[in-house]
Amino acid sequence: MGCGQSIPAGADTGTSVPVPGATPGDGEGIGVDGRLGRRQGTSATVLGHHQNAAKLGGDANPGGLLKGAEPSLSDPRARPEHFYHLFEKWPVIRPGLKEFLAKLLEAKTKGTVKRVFIYTANTSLHWVRFVMQCILKWHGFPLSLIDGIKHAPGGLKVVPENAVLYDDHPENAIGNCIQVDKYTNEIPWDMLAPLILSLPDHSPETCPCWEQCGGIKAFVDRDMAYKDRPHDPESDLTLYHLAEEFEPCEEVLLDMDETLLAGARISAYFNALNHFLMFRDEEFGTATGEKEGSVRAAQPAS
Ligand SMILES: [Zn+2]
């Protein structure tokens, strides 16, 4: 298995194993402001997350300059504001991420680190770039903090001599790799489902991939069938420790999925926004006409 394991499966909107017997129809009764109420674990996770965030210090958005927004019918596709909205509601992307990135920025400013790359096996480089830019902006870091994205086809990562890789899957790396505890504290579905259900639904005639899609309710039901993975509270502290112990290296490579963030659900939201805003039934206005993207498949790399 490659580092692909750590990918929020393409952003394939679901990484884990579907729960047998998860019934379609679970999504019924979800109002715009409704709680799903079916995930016992979620509210506990949210509460724990907020308590931890308060303890550890929440994420930034310095000066409150950035404002989140719920999707609206005039949006042509996913916008950073849709994700700022999530970050407002779920205040820590990964605890310590801001501190770790601040350390990198400091080292880059001093010149002790020359380059920083995201090194990912995720096939959706469009998504990787989008979410990393949202995170950098949200924390008030310059986009130039990250010099680019390197792709590891098949998941094997080769770390150059002068570089260090931070990754939750060191077994898939050749070279100098610092193991990062896996972070799986996904944004809960009861936050995402109302946002996704507010998008314009469409019909088989409009959808370029109806067999995988089936409309918004099917999309939500399908993704809700993926079970929350257990969250290890210890992993809340990992990036703080790594920031404290940080030793500069000419080139720093960062895995993204489950190293910098738990991205499966955020990428499901990204895919839903792009799919349902882009391909609309006529009464909602025109689609862009571009037949790109699929609900299940990764966004095409761009
Ligand atoms: Zn569709």
pLDDT, averaged across the chain: 79
Q: Hey, where are the domains in the chain?
A: 3-14+31-284
CA 55, 189, 278 angle in degrees (round to 5)? 120
15 pLDDT above the threshold of 70:
no
Task: Tell how far the Cα of 152 is from the centroid of ligand 1, in angstroms.
Answer: 29
**CA pair distance 27, 34, nearest whole angstrom:** 10
Query: What's residue 237's pLDDT?
Result: 93
Task: Tell how far the Cα of 276 is from the centroid of ligand 1, in angstroms.
Answer: 6
**CA pair distance 115, 298, nearest whole angstrom:** 27
- The label of the residue with tokens 């999504």 reads 27
Task: Tell how far the Cα of 270 is from the centroid of ligand 1, in angstroms.
Answer: 14
Whether the Cβ atoms of residue 11 and residue 127 lie closer than 8 Å to each other: yes
| For ion ligand 1, residues whose CB falls within 5 Å | 207, 213
Task: Tell how far the Cα of 219 is from the centroid of ligand 1, in angstroms.
Answer: 9
Task: Tell how far the Cα of 43 is from the centroid of ligand 1, in angstroms.
Answer: 30
Long-range contact set of residues 56-59: C-beta below 8 Å, sequence gap at least 24: 56/92, 56/95, 56/96, 56/236, 56/240, 58/91, 58/92, 59/87, 59/91, 59/92, 59/93, 59/97, 59/98, 59/138, 59/139
Task: Tell how far the Cα of 75 is from the centroid of ligand 1, in angstroms.
Answer: 17
**CA pair distance 294, 212, nearest whole angstrom:** 8
Task: Tell how far the Cα of 2 is from the centroid of ligand 1, in angstroms.
Answer: 30
Nearest alpha carbon to residue 199 among 278, 88, 145: 278
Mean pLDDT of 14-19: 32
Specify the amino acid at residue 203: S
Query: What's residue 52's pLDDT?
Result: 55
Task: Tell how far the Cα of 48 is from the centroid of ligand 1, in angstroms.
Answer: 35
3-state DSSP assignment of residue 39: coil
Q: In which band, very low, low, confident or very high, does the pLDDT at 224 lie, cut at 50, 70 and 90?
A: confident
Full-model pTM: 0.75
Query: What's residue 17's pLDDT?
Result: 31
Segment 110-164, tens digit of pLDDT: 999 999 999 999 989 999 999 999 999 999 999 999 999 999 988 999 999 999 9
Task: Tell how far the Cα of 187 is from the centroid of ligand 1, in angstroms.
Answer: 23
**CA pair distance 193, 201, nearest whole angstrom:** 13
- The label of the residue with tokens 């096996």 reads 121
Q: In which band, very low, low, confident or very high, does the pLDDT at 55 lie, cut at 50, 70 and 90?
A: low
Query: What's residue 50's pLDDT?
Result: 55
Segment 228-253, tens digit of pLDDT: 788 888 999 999 999 999 999 999 99
Residue 177 token pair = 């790799």
Query: What's residue 46's pLDDT?
Result: 53
Mean pLDDT of 206-231: 90
CA 110 to chain centre: 30
